[in-house]
Structure 1
Amino acid sequence: MLQTVERPAPAQDALPVFVSSEWGALKECVYGSPHRWVMPKFLGDSKLRAYGDFYEFWVANQERDVAEVDPERFREFSNQIQGAINLLEGLGVRVQIAQELAPADLKFPRGENHGIVTAWMRDPFVTIGNNVIELAPRSLFHRRQRFAIRSILASTMDRGARYFSQPDGGAEDSRDEPGWGYLEGGDIFVLGTKILVGHSGGCSNPEGVRWLQHALGREYDVEIVPIDPMYPHLDCVLSTPREGVTVVCLEAFPSGLPEHIRDWDHIVVDKHLAKRHMACNNLILDDRTVVVPSEEALDGVAAALKQRRFEVIRIPYARPSEFGGSFRCAHQPLVRI
């Protein structure tokens, strides 16, 4: 006999799922969890993200719970993520939090411990228009993240979303051949109907871009953007807080900027600031308001945004950022209008 499972009803005040652009007013998002952080095995996908002193910490503590090996680091990490969640909720943004992974899912996809990194929820899915798409990340520790948000994503079907999934990447580290497309949300930028997808060689790939164009259809124009291999994702070297304005590391684009944004007003940061301090990875609330970490190294970015008449909100976020992902990496929008 089939068992009937009662689906939770969407919140009565929930808006239809839709993301218009990177700078659309943020009304709802999935945000990373402040509750767990287990370091992944130090494989090739880890080397893309580790940097400086944190590289040594990761190698020494792979597969270990950060709350046990460095309680003070974990306390700061958890408090800073919760602070961002509190800020968003205080501004009226509906925030949904990644859930705990089931023990069996921790063995996915090949029976090894690839850590718990549900504090960074940008990569396992993307919202483009009313399309909510589970992605096929190349990184092994990103592949399991979708299980922590599956119920959230499935509930979007009751709110007008077209919910579907990219073919899974399986248990191999990577396979760059026809049919094996990889996409990670940090590479994907929604600029209206123009979609940019970063390609560093270690995350999203051309086959993934081909699949995304096929899935979205002719309404969208999907373009691959080569970036320096020292950065995992496009959002490590670019943000678009308003149509016509970027924060960008120009050195990270070996072929130059995409034509679509080439003539915009650019706030330029250097490679070190983009890599070590995630200077481009800020949280856009709307086309007038940006959240930038309060670390002194980012004062110049904040000042440049203010010169362009943005309101800039500053809160601490250094601990999550050291993993290689700041505010943008922590969230994926469900409603930006």
Structure 2
Amino acid sequence: MPVVNAHNEWDPLEEVIVGVVDNARVPSPDRGLFAVDYADRLTSMDQIPSGPYSERVVRESAADLERFADVLRSYGVVVRRPRVADHSRPFASPEWSVDGEYNYCPRDVILPIGDTLIETPMALRTRYFEPFSYKDILLEYFEGGANWVSAPKPRLADETYETGPGAGQVLANLEPVFDAANVLRIGKDVLYQVSCSGNRLGARWLQRVLGDAYTVHIVEGVYDGSHLDTTIMPLRPGLVLLNPERVSAERVPAVFKNWDVIWCPPLPGVVATAEPVRASSWIGMNLLMINPELAVVDAAAQPLIKELNRHGIETEALPIRHSRVLSGGFHCVSLDIRRTGLLEDYS
């Protein structure tokens, strides 16, 4: 088995990176941060609630992450953690200066496909150097035989970001830009969401890098707000979880035309626990498959847990109390590095 082996979202999990919440903060006002994360609910950059998250949010989130890691270990999964960083330190390019955010969501930073790890050209300046916290782990995987690719570092100049009335797509198509969480793996088919965290040029770059073994399918006009894994979640071959607020029966991606669908029920129990709130209650469908019959799910998402059980999927229901505040559920805060299984065609 290669040290890195990730072909889909459900094969039996063997190794994973789980994020850390140490020093997590809302970055200082910046054009990119405003356009991607706040333009839909604030009127100016000055209103961004910058600064460290509360001690309670950090303490409780750290406990939830450690509980999650312990459960994964109990199933024989190797758990790795990124290096703790000081996200308050400013950094700059020739065109801008910012500070950092967190290492809570490794899913956003690195994209494992097959035996290859791809550092993605992320949409936020504030997360530009986030991959550095994973360098020691990436070097170890490289020494173990994994391919390691870094996308071209984007300029992220001011003209990258569109805001205001009639702005249309937030990210201009000036250079490849996308977060790894804009992508879902379904064997030889790869879904890529065009949104405020991924542009069309990013999809073209990814297709060219992956080559003819894969087909990158663009998902567009479904959800403009950031990542794909609160809208679509493949559970096992032939079964997919979809967000009914964003995906209609007529607009189910063609990859799933012969699949059964679980329409995620409303999740009123997934509540915001502090301010500011970045994610909706749909973050509750952001689950992690340990294997095709077992999912780690937010314990507050009881209606979803019942639906999964009804379809033969057992659940580890765990707390992730500040998922809406930190904008990350169990899929976001983990990065599956190695799953058993081979590259297959599921369409």
The TM-score bracket by the shorter chain reads 0.7 to 0.9
Specify the SS of the correspondent of 2:157: coil
Aligned mate of 2:24, from 16, 37, 40 = 37
Among 51, 54, 73, the residue aligned to 1:89: 73
Report whether the alignment pairs 1:286 with 2:291: yes
Q: Which residue of structure 2 aligns with residue 329 of structure 1?
A: 332
Runs of 5+ consecutive residues of structure 2 not aligned to the other structure: 161-170, 269-278, 341-347
Q: 1:209 aligns with which of 188, 203, 206?
A: 203
Q: Distance in 1 between matches of 2:90 and 2:333?
A: 20
2:234 equivalent to 1:240: yes
Number of aligned residue pairs = 314
Name the counterpart of 2:194: 199
The match for 2:216 is 222
- 1:244: Cα distance to partner? 1.2
Identity %: 21
SS of 2:322's partner is: helix
Mark the CA change 1:224 to 1:271 in structure 2 (over 3 Å): closer, same or farther: farther
> 1:19 and 1:327 mapped to 2: Cα distance?
17
1:77 aligns with 2:61: yes
Q: Deviations over 1:132-191 (max 9, x none)?
A: 11110112233221011022112212222111111011242526345x111211111110
- Are the counterparts in 2 of residues 108 and 144 from structure 1 also a CA contact under 8 Å? no
Once the two structures are TM-superposed, the CA of residue 103 in structure 1 deviates from its matched residue by 7.4
Contact 1:188–1:197 (Cα < 8 Å) also in 2: yes
TM-score (norm 2): 0.81
TM-score (norm 1): 0.84
How is 1:1-337 mapped onto 2 (pairs within 5 angstroms)? 16-43=3-30, 44-45=32-33, 48-49=36-37, 59=47, 61-62=49-50, 64-66=51-53, 70-101=54-85, 106-109=90-93, 112-173=97-158, 174=160, 176-177=172-173, 180-200=175-195, 202-229=196-223, 231-253=225-247, 256-269=251-264, 275-295=280-300, 298-337=301-340
Greater helix proportion: 1
Q: Please say which of residues 206-215 and 81-90 is displaced more in the overlay.
A: 81-90
Query: What RMSD in Å do the two structures reach over aligned CA positions?
Result: 3.0
Separation of aligned partners in 2, 1:106 and 1:146 = 16
Output the amino acid matched with 1:311.
E
Question: Aligned-pair distance for 1:322?
Answer: 2.5
Pairwise CA distance, 1:213:
0.6
SS in 1 for 2:190: strand
Distance 1:87 1:47, change over 3 A: farther
Which amino acid is the alignment partner of residue 293 of structure 1?
Answer: D
- Partner Cα distance (2:173, 2:255) in 1: 28
